[in-house]
């Protein structure tokens, strides 16, 4: 039986992005790399927007005459709190736009948007536009010169949508046309956008087990400090009051939310709408436009399943549920797999102690037979310290140097096998090479805090440390098991760590005669 999985070499964009993240890790450590927490950072900004928005609303006057004055009062006369709240509201909104763009770009570049992630991708596209709509109507509420220009331009676009009746721009044709009712509508749209955002976020995270919604505490403090410093050094201020008797000439431009309006200088609102719809649909369809062969979902052998729930707990995408048994066995529950949600990562295999769940193309029996066969070949051919390497499918890329005997060129003292995720390595699998006389086992997975399947490397380490079932046998010498966590482009780092691990085995081999690894 051949290993049927196909593992891809990192592309140019993926390589550049991973190298950039690796560079940031040098300064922040992986535990505090903001690029690993973009979604959680975006939710943090949303909470800042919500809290500061509630405070601003307390003092906001929902009238055509009082809107500008109430915001001016907050910014100038109550600058010590109201002004800071307004600035925090503004900069958190800008920050949200930045992290959304980075989050979408990272998801695309690192190929994390297909198949089981399609719902998250599509809802993410909708979230982007909801944030933009909320921000635009937020500018209306200030009702200064910039708000007047934004209102006129956006009203000109909105009235092109056929569901509206009278042209919205008539509200700005005369002073007497501007009514308090318009500001109530604007306020409702602005506030309801936040409500819809949280609903969409629930859908966005629906297929994720134990989603990370809070950044590390140190990052929260750091982000809040940055927002406060920006608010003090460059507070958000209004321009002059809106005046419908004249058009605004020169106003500060906010590229975060007003980026779309310069297009109106070169095209009509109708053409711009067509462009927006086409681009949005195309971006939303990316998971289908770039579709590739999907690996098969895991299958449950019900007669082996005890309903222990470990596979469900470890599954990263809520693809496994426990249902009442249908086969009459004494256990109350059995695992049921949703093929649509299954990432085919095999993490559930690593969690199962009863061989009850398997990938059709990479069964546990096949993997164990392969590991055992390679280990025996390695023991018979090498006269120096030997190492068996388990390599994550998204880990360091060395495949071009691996020959048909699963040996890296120039390293006859090792054998390597690549698996979709190190989380699928059952602890019993680690003991096989040691039982067959191999001197050490080396496991290389994704970069820390950046497992392609979210928490596979974390679950593996907890099992190895005896902190999460199933745990490795106490009789296994853990000093002969090495681990390293690196991205696809950190090949040299992998080889360096591997050589250091082998040197340690060589020294031990010279000092003592290895006996059986299992007592």
Same fold, 37-242+256-289 and 299-358: no
pTM: 0.91
Q: Which residues in 167-192 are b (16+ Cβ under 10 Å) and which e?
A: ebbebbeeeeebeeebbeebbebbbe
Tokens of 227: 């927002």
315 — pLDDT class (breaks 50, 70, 90): very high
CATH topology of domain 299-358: Alpha-Beta Plaits (3.30.70)
Beta strands in 127-168 (DSSP E): none
Beta strands in 7-147 (DSSP E): none
Q: Are 388 and 440 spatial neighbours (Cβ–Cβ below 8 Å)?
A: yes
CA pair distance 24, 21, nearest whole angstrom: 5
Helix axes 427-435, 364-381, angle to 10 degrees: 30
332 — pLDDT class (breaks 50, 70, 90): very high
232-273 pLDDT, tens digit per residue, is 999 999 988 988 777 776 778 888 898 888 888 888 888 999
Phi, psi (deg, nearest 5) at residue 26? -60, -35
- Name the DSSP letter for residue 81: I
Largest CA distance in the chain: 96
446 — pLDDT class (breaks 50, 70, 90): very high
| Mean pLDDT score, 29-37 | 94
How many C-beta neighbours within 10 Å does residue 310 have? 21
Q: Are 134 and 193 spatial neighbours (Cβ–Cβ below 8 Å)?
A: yes
Locus of tokens 């546990």: 364
Going by C-alpha positions, the residue among 279, 280, 273, 283 that lies closest to residue 163 is 273
Q: Are 384 and 438 spatial neighbours (Cβ–Cβ below 8 Å)?
A: no
CA pair distance 79, 430, nearest whole angstrom: 62
Annotated domain spans of the chain = 37-242+256-289, 299-358, 364-511
Q: Are 443 and 422 spatial neighbours (Cβ–Cβ below 8 Å)?
A: yes
CA pair distance 412, 418, nearest whole angstrom: 17
- Check residue 409 and give left, alpha or beta (phi > 0: left; psi -120 to 50: alpha): beta
Q: Is the pLDDT of residue 381 over 80?
A: no
Locus of tokens 């090949």: 491
Q: What is the pLDDT of residue 2?
A: 43
Q: What is the pLDDT of residue 519?
A: 38
Residue 409 makes CB contacts below 8 A (sequence gap 6+) with 401, 402, 403
Query: DSSP H helical segments within 110-216, as ranges?
Result: 118-142, 145-158, 180-204
Task: Tell me yes or no: is domain 37-242+256-289 CATH 1.20.58.410.
Answer: no
177 — pLDDT class (breaks 50, 70, 90): low
Beta strands in 214-312 (DSSP E): 299-300
How many Å separate Cα 61 from the centre of its chain? 39
Q: Name the 3-class secondary structure at 515.
A: coil
How many residues are listed for the chain in this entry?
A: 519
Residue 247, H or E segment:
none
Q: Are 388 and 374 spatial neighbours (Cβ–Cβ below 8 Å)?
A: yes
How many C-beta neighbours within 10 Å does residue 408 have? 20
Q: What is the average pLDDT score of the chain?
A: 90
């Amino acid at each position: 039986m051949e290993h049927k999985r196909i593992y891809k070499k990192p592309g140019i964009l993926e390589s550049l992005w991973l190298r950039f993240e690796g560079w940031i890790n040098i300064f922040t450590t992986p535990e505090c790399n903001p690029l690993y927490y973009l979604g959680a950072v975006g939710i943090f900004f949303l909470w800042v927007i919500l809290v500061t928005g509630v405070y601003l609303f307390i003092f906001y006057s929902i009238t055509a005459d009082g809107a500008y004055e109430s915001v001016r009062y907050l910014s100038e006369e109550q600058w010590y709190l109201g002004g800071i709240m307004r600035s925090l509201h503004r900069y958190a909104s800008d920050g949200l736009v930045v992290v959304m763009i980075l989050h979408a770009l990272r998801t695309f570049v690192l190929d994390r948007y297909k198949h089981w992630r399609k719902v998250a991708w599509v809802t993410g596209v909708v979230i982007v536009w909801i944030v933009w709509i909320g921000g635009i109507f937020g500018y209306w509420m200030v009702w200064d010169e910039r708000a007047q220009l934004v209102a006129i331009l956006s009203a000109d676009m909105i009235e092109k949508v056929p569901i509206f009746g009278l042209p919205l721009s008539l509200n700005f044709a005369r002073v007497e046309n501007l009514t308090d009712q318009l500001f109530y509508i604007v306020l409702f749209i602005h506030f309801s956008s936040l409500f819809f955002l949280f609903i969409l976020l629930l859908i966005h995270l629906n297929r994720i087990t134990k989603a990370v919604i809070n950044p590390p505490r140190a990052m929260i403090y750091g982000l809040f400090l940055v927002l406060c410093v920006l608010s003090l050094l460059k507070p958000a201020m209004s321009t002059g009051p809106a005046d419908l008797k004249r058009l605004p000439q020169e106003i500060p431009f906010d590229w975060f939310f007003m980026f779309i309006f310069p297009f109106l200088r070169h095209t009509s609102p109708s053409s711009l709408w067509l462009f927006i719809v086409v681009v949005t649909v195309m971006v939303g369809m990316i998971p289908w436009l770039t579709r590739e062969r999907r690996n098969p979902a895991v299958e449950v052998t019900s007669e082996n399943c005890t309903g222990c729930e470990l596979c469900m707990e470890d599954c990263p995408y809520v693809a496994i549920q426990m249902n009442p048994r249908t086969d009459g066995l004494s256990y109350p529950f059995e695992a049921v797999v949703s093929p649509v949600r299954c990432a085919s990562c095999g993490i559930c295999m690593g969690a199962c102690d009863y061989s009850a769940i398997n990938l059709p193309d990479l069964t546990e029996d096949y993997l164990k037979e392969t590991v055992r066969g390679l280990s025996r070949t390695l023991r018979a051919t090498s006269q120096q310290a030997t190492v068996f390497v388990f390599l994550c499918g998204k880990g360091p890329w060395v495949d071009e140097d691996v020959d048909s005997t699963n040996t890296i060129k120039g390293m006859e003292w090792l054998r390597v096998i690549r698996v979709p995720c190190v989380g699928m390595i059952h602890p019993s699998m680690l003991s096989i090479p040691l039982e067959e006389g191999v001197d050490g086992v080396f496991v290389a997975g994704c970069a820390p805090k950046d497992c392609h399947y979210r928490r596979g490397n974390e679950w593996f380490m907890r099992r190895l440390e005896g902190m999460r079932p199933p745990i490795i046998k106490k009789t296994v010498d853990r000093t002969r098991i090495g681990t390293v966590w690196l991205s696809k482009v950190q090949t040299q780092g992998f080889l360096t760590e591997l050589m250091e691990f082998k040197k340690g085995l060589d020294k031990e081999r010279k000092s003592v005669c290895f006996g059986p690894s299992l007592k």
